[in-house]
Structure 1
């Protein structure tokens, strides 16, 4: 049986900011561990969040949602892989 730490979770999220605050939010996101800014435009920021559990991703997203200047932070999808899983094309959001 696999141990829980053998799972790797990756999520994307869209962060909506007040446009004048976008640069400040981008700077704060750049300092956050396990968060990578993928793209940004017109007050919208796409981020990738990585962690060892869905709870960890949710906690990071909650921290993002309370940053000054953030209007909303919503998860778009989550992908989970287990250590040793050789089927790298699996996505849990695929129909």
Structure 2
């Protein structure tokens, strides 16, 4: 996008967070998932299977929320959940 001001052409850059979002999705999220898997394997290796099961339920809920946030389908999911209540 350019604008002429007194014979001088100025270029205005479009600033977005797409690069940062992509970097987080490609680098940080897999590291977090790897860390979660290592912790669960460590807990399971101690023989605390009930502890792994308890933590896994919370992690699954958290991963579903992360998936909704990353995919951008929050409004559609909200509408669907509201339709379950209202009919």
Structure whose alpha-carbon radius of gyration is higher: 2
Q: Whose helix proportion is higher, 1 or 2?
A: 2
Q: Whose strand proportion is higher, 1 or 2?
A: 1
Structure with the bigger RCO (C-alpha within 8 Å, sep 6+) is 1
